[in-house]
Structure 1
């Protein structure tokens, strides 16, 4: 991300060219959006399948 260069001074915008080549690090993932979505889907699927449902309880009790 770039540092802010514009400021409002006495009704006029002033540009600070001293910070023109400066950037600020921001936390971003080291993978693509597709890889991030796939990892989230795997994590959510694991949680979904690890929680017993009422259907599982009925099947164990001899129901359908």
Structure 2
């Protein structure tokens, strides 16, 4: 298994940020069918982006993304 970090930049509006974070969480909650494990989602408010840490096999990650 390999580890991957995805960098996601949400829109600037705070309401949309909250909605996007919920979408991110929903998407990554459903990773079990792709055989991917969500390790963590970090929010860096200063630069306003999310870092999503996932773990899985190359083929599974490619299908998921």
Q: TM-score by structure 2 length?
A: 0.32
Q: Which has the higher strand share?
A: 2
Q: Which structure has more RCO (C-alpha within 8 Å, separation ≥ 6)?
A: 2
Kindly name which structure, 1 or 2, has the bigger radius of gyration based on alpha carbons: 1
Q: TM-score by structure 1 length?
A: 0.33
